[in-house]
Amino acid sequence: MSVLEPATARTVRTRIQWHLTGSVRRATPRGVHNLTARGAKPLTTRPLFRYACDVDAEPLHRYTKGGYHPTHLGDQLKHGRYRVLHKLGWGGHSTVWAARDEEKGRYVAVKISVSEWQSEQANRQLQVMRTIATSSLQNAGAASVMKVLDHFELDGPNGTHECLVLELLGPSVSDIVDVRFVGDRLPAALAKKVARQTLLGLDYLHQHGIGHGVFTLSLSDSSGEDELSRILGRPELGPVRRVNGEPTEPGSIKIVDYGESFFDTEPPVTLHTPLAVRAPEVVFEDNFDHRVDLWSMGCLLFELFAGQTPFDVLMLTPGILTGQMEDFATDKLPKRWVERANRLKEESIDFVQAGREEEGAVSTHTLQQWLEEIYFDQGKSAELSLEDVRKLAELVSKMLYFEPSSRATASALLKDTWLS
């Protein structure tokens, strides 16, 4: 689930889509480039670049020493084990490809990093994924986290590239909401299933002392579907049923993309979590651990049912967020953060005052009142009762504590029968 890519990412949906929150921007079957002069169009506006392409894909000038590996459909990777079938997406540090594992007879996603990306973050991500892949812990949440299936190095004209072989997953939760449902919200029963499976995955990571770090749900608009349909043809749709007449099993949710993940024993200096769901200890530049995920999970739980995060997204600054967190957090701002919080708010004061004058008033909603107002907004379907929404607000409040030690753990929330 994507988290999600930060909320500005746009994704082309295919019949099978790989989802790497924070790492993949846009997948397109035409994003495979022949890096020769033959057929290349001259670029007049940026003469420093030798090649151009009308497809929204990774920048071609980065196909150089230290950059991307030139990958082609049909390429055989790791001595012929993985056959490249389709391009799924790209990011600043990698391209991602659908491939056939000829040895295991399965479809996988192969993430090929740029050769220069040998950073501490990359090593930490690999160690986290290896820990998950080799864990013997018996926990129901193991099925709710994406696992690395293989790892190898690929030598090419631009250097040596780290390659991760990952499970090939279906569409992100945000894509499902965008395509299938109105109002940027899931049906209540489905939202409960997504929340529960996500909590299971978080509990599994936290049992290993791992924080995910960029745990969020993107509900950004998607585009490019018409172009994809023109190339591949619009897929036929029809209901799926079991031949024995029994009901079909519900789809499952997996937590993906460990680019910002970390061990509690070796946390990074900071995290790049989207601001609207960033834990206060990160905002205030304090020490942190895996409990940053609990704050983000509270925001995600709110968003799954309401269709938006509890905090503003548009034009949000750390100072504005600080004020909103003080409005909605279950406890008071700890004294150790007061000075930093005041400084952040002062830096945003002109913008805040302008916004208040335009709106005419300062919001005095509690978290529960805000959730009720959004959920029962006119024109949107409301499957939950008022009692249910208040229960939801109670669960969210258990995670939105300033003090990390006060936040309800994933395992504690899973005991609540409301999510069953």
| 263-282 residue pLDDT tens | 999 999 999 999 999 999 99
Question: How is residue 393 written in tokens?
Answer: 């607000």
Check: CB of residue 98 under 8 Å from CB of residue 18: yes
Task: Supply the pLDDT for residue 81.
Answer: 97
Task: Supply the pLDDT for residue 157.
Answer: 94
Going by C-beta distance under 8 Å and a sequence separation of 6 or more, which residues neighbour residue 22? Answer: 3, 4, 5, 6, 91, 214, 257, 259, 260, 272
Check: CB of residue 351 under 8 Å from CB of residue 315: yes
| 3-state DSSP assignment of residue 388 | helix
Task: Supply the pLDDT for residue 211.
Answer: 94
- Residues 418 and 398: their CA atoms lie apart, in Å, by 14
Alpha-carbon dihedral angle through residues 334, 340, 342, 348, given to the nearest 10 degrees: -130
Check: CB of residue 120 under 8 Å from CB of residue 183: no
Residues that constitute the known binding site: 111
Give the closest residue to 217 by CA, choosing from 328, 312, 114, 296.
Answer: 296
Task: Supply the pLDDT for residue 242.
Answer: 58
Terminal alpha carbon distance of the chain: 20
DSSP per-residue letters across 285-339 = T----TTHHHHHHHHHHHHHHHSS-SS--TT--HHHHHHHHHHH-SSPPPHHHHH
Backbone Cα Rg of the chain: 23
Q: Which domains does the chain have, with CATH numbers?
A: 173-226+251-419 (1.10.510.10)
DSSP per-residue letters across 93-153 = TEEEEEEEETTTTEEEEEEEE-TT---HHHHHHHHHHHHHHH-----GGGGGB--EEEEEE
Check: CB of residue 112 under 8 Å from CB of residue 154: yes
CA 113 vs. chain centroid, Å, equals: 19
Check: CB of residue 22 under 8 Å from CB of residue 261: no
| 3-state DSSP assignment of residue 89 | strand
Task: Supply the pLDDT for residue 363.
Answer: 56
Give the closest residue to 277 by CA, choosing from 24, 4, 1.
Answer: 4
- Determine which helix (DSSP H) or strand (DSSP E) holds 398, and give its type and residue range: helix 386-399
Taking CA atoms, 324 is separated from 310, 319, 330, in Å, by 9, 9, 12
Residues that constitute the known binding site for ATP: 111
pLDDT tens sequence across 279-323: 999 999 999 999 999 999 999 999 999 988 999 888 899 999 999
- Residues 126 and 133: their CA atoms lie apart, in Å, by 10
Please indicate, yes or no, whether the overall pTM of this predicted structure exceeds 0.85: no
Give the closest residue to 208 by CA, choosing from 262, 159, 260, 254.
Answer: 262
Q: What angle, 0 to 180 degrees and rounded to 10, lies between the N-to-C axes of helices 386-399 and 367-375?
A: 130
In eight-state DSSP terms, residue 354 is H
> For tokens 């390659």, what's the residue?
163
Residues of the chain with pLDDT below 50 are 1-47, 216-237, 240, 354-362
